[in-house]
Amino acid sequence: MMDRSILDTLMEAAYQQALKGYNEGGLPIGSVLADRRGIVLAVGHNLRVQTGDPTAHAEVACIRSAGRRRDWPDLVLVSSLSPCVMCTGTALLYKIPEVVIGENENFLGAEDLFAARGVRVTNLQHAGCKELMARFVRERPDLWNEDIGVPPGAKPA
């Protein structure tokens, strides 16, 4: 388990990515990939609105930015929000052993899959992440439902 102060610092960086996304008119979700010393190796934020890429959730954008490497099992993935099943699958593919999330109140992703595969998930209950995401879901339920694959007309998440 990494030191809590390191995790808090990494989460603040993920939150800054989420804020960046919000200020660009996109989804306010941010992610950071770091090594176990807390050194940031890549950052990313959701780019659906900005680039029209439906696979560009924050975690995928972050891992994409990290490039080709083989040391994934030594890394920690930090996300402002509980990762969806796509992002969970991406972390599982590369055997990233530790995931740190800002919150799972606005959206509960596939944490059951992480648990089933022995990935440690730590929820930091980050107030800023919660408030920013709640604000966005209120303001843009259409974009939010699109981002999590809720078909139009279906009961919103």
Where do contacts with its own copies occur on this chain (CB under 8 A)? 48, 52-56, 60, 63-64, 66-70, 72-73, 84-90, 92-95, 110, 113, 146, 148-149, 151-152
CA distance 78 to 123: 10
CA distance 6 to 123: 14
CA distance 89 to 104: 17
Is 59 designated active site? yes
Catalytic choice (12, 24, 59, 139): 59
Q: How far is the CB of 2 from its own copies (least distance, A)?
A: 20
Q: How far is the CB of 84 from its own copies (least distance, A)?
A: 5
- 120 beta partners: 98
* Cβ closest to its own copies, residue 40 vs residue 113: 113
Q: How far is the CB of 41 from its own copies (least distance, A)?
A: 12
Q: What Cα–Cα distance (Å) separates residue 86 from each residue in 1, 59, 92?
A: 25, 9, 10
The residues annotated as belonging to the active site are 59
